[in-house]
């Protein structure tokens, strides 16, 4: 064996002995030294003091409402023609940051006058992020725990909008449409002086039309399947529950046709007569008069 190999073996043996001795010495109570690069990671970070609630709320609102970008400060431009709002490239919103700050306010100052508003703004941030389900939960909690808050009408209207935006998620399921209509009607009846009552009116009307249209669709399906009892029941829902939806004349006429096919002349005559009397200018009135004459009843 050459001298080089012997020297290598000696060095390896000394390293092995050293490696076995050092842990044994440390185990006997000697302080273990940490690598220098772990020094800063072991230092405790000083926690910053929580700012006052009004300052924390204002900072969170700045992220929620948006901060001006360089384009906004440097370049002149006009507001949006229809909404009057600033364009998206002029203001930068940071909703996650705003949510965190609002949540900090609620956590550290739960009895502050800003806490209810912070809870409401958390729901607003999620609404702006189009997270309708989470926003709806936030508005429901606000309505539940702060029923006399000045912003209760606004929260109810926003809750209705959350359900309204989810109405197309399941086209055959009208649960969200019914929930939206309920909230919009609450805004109109309980808070008629609120500015949100006027905004809720067209949305409520749209929900009514959607529900009535759905009943017409189901009634037509049963009618074409020759299930006339079922179709008559579905058509009857529209004049009773959704008279303002604009489908009453059509529903009465189709209900009369269903009873006509069932040879239930008294019920058919009553519905045909209502079409003639209540909707003389309807496109279904001539057909109703014709059937009344066929049933030997003077229109």
CA-to-CA distance for 137 and 126, rounded, in angstroms?
10
Give the residue carrying structure tokens 């809870």: 119
Return the structure tokens found at 297. Answer: 């009843």
pLDDT tens-digit profile of 233-286? 999 999 999 999 999 999 999 999 999 999 999 999 999 999 999 999 999 999
Give me the pLDDT at residue 18, please. 54
CA-to-CA distance for 6 and 292, rounded, in angstroms?
121
Helices then strands, each counted (H, E), the chain: 14, 2
CB-CB contact of 145 with 138 (8 Å): no
pLDDT band per the 50, 70, 90 thresholds, residue 45: low
Count of C-beta atoms within a 10 Å radius of residue 154? 19
Give me the pLDDT at residue 248, please. 96
Q: What are phi and psi of 73, to 5 degrees?
A: -80, -30
Mean pLDDT of 77-81: 50
CB-CB contact of 196 with 157 (8 Å): yes
Mean pLDDT of 4-19: 63
What is the percent of the chain where pLDDT is above 70?
76
Q: Using the predicted structure, report yes or no on whether residue 166 has a pLDDT greater than 60.
A: yes
Non-local CB neighbours of 287 within 8 Å, separated by 6+ positions = 253
Q: What is the mean pLDDT of the chain?
A: 85
H/E stretch holding 92 reads strand 91-92
* Cα dihedral 255, 256, 261, 264 sign: positive
User: Given its phi and psi angles, is residue 80 left (phi above 0), alpha (psi -120 to 50 degrees) or beta?
Assistant: beta
Domain holding 250, by residue range, is 226-299
Asked, for residue 160, whether it belongs to a domain, the answer is: no
Asked, for residue 269, whether it belongs to a domain, the answer is: yes
Give me the pLDDT at residue 169, please. 83
Total-model pTM: 0.76
Angle, CA of 66, 68 and 73, to the nearest 5°? 165
Asked, for residue 240, whether it belongs to a domain, the answer is: yes
CA-to-CA distance for 261 and 131, rounded, in angstroms?
48
Give me the pLDDT at residue 82, please. 43
Asked, for residue 294, whether it belongs to a domain, the answer is: yes
Range with the largest mean pLDDT of 21-30, 86-95, 134-143? 134-143
CA-to-CA distance for 292 and 272, rounded, in angstroms?
7
In this structure, the chain runs to a length of: 299
Give me the pLDDT at residue 91, please. 74
Give me the pLDDT at residue 232, please. 97
* Number of domains, the chain: 1
Asked, for residue 238, whether it belongs to a domain, the answer is: yes
CA-to-CA distance for 71 and 88, rounded, in angstroms?
11
Q: What are phi and psi of 68, to 5 degrees?
A: -65, 140
Give me the pLDDT at residue 172, please. 83
Q: Using the predicted structure, report yes or no on whether residue 127 has a pLDDT greater than 60.
A: yes
- Mean pLDDT check: name the lowest of 22-31, 150-159, 184-193, 207-216: 22-31
Asked, for residue 276, whether it belongs to a domain, the answer is: yes
pLDDT band per the 50, 70, 90 thresholds, residue 83: very low
What is the percent of the chain where pLDDT is above 90?
68
Query: What is 245-272 written as a DSSP string?
Result: GS-HHHHHHHHHHHHHHTT-HHHHHHHH
CA-to-CA distance for 234 and 215, rounded, in angstroms?
6
């Amino acid at each position: 064996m050459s001298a080089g190999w012997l020297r290598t073996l000696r060095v390896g043996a000394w390293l092995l002995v050293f490696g076995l001795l050092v842990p044994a010495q440390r185990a006997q109570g000697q302080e273990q030294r940490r690598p220098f690069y772990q020094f800063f990671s072991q230092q405790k970070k000083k926690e910053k003091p929580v700012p006052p609630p009004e300052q924390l709320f204002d900072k969170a609102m700045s992220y929620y409402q948006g901060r001006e970008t360089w384009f906004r400060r440097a370049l002149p431009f006009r507001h949006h023609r229809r909404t009057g709002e600033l364009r998206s490239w002029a203001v930068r919103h940071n909703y996650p940051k705003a949510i965190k700050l609002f949540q900090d306010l609620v956590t550290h100052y739960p009895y502050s006058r800003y806490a209810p508003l912070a809870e409401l703004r958390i729901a607003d941030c999620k609404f702006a992020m189009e997270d309708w389900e989470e926003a709806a939960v936030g508005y429901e909690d606000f309505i539940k725990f702060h029923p006399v808050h000045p912003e209760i009408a606004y929260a109810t209207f926003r809750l209705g909008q959350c359900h309204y935006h989810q109405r197309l998620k399941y086209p055959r399921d009208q649960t969200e449409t019914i929930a939206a209509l309920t909230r919009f009607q609450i805004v109109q009846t309980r808070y008629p002086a609120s500015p949100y009552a006027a905004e809720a009116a067209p949305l409520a009307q749209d929900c009514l039309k959607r529900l009535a249209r759905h009943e017409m669709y189901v009634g037509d399906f049963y009618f074409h399947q020759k299930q006339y009892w079922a179709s008559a029941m579905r058509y009857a829902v529209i004049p009773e529950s959704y008279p303002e939806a604009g489908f009453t004349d059509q529903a009465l006429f189709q209900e009369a046709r269903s009873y006509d096919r069932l040879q239930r002349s008294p019920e058919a005559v009553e519905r045909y007569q209502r079409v003639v009397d209540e909707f003389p200018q309807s496109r279904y009135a001539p057909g109703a008069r014709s059937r009344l004459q066929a049933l030997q009843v003077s229109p």
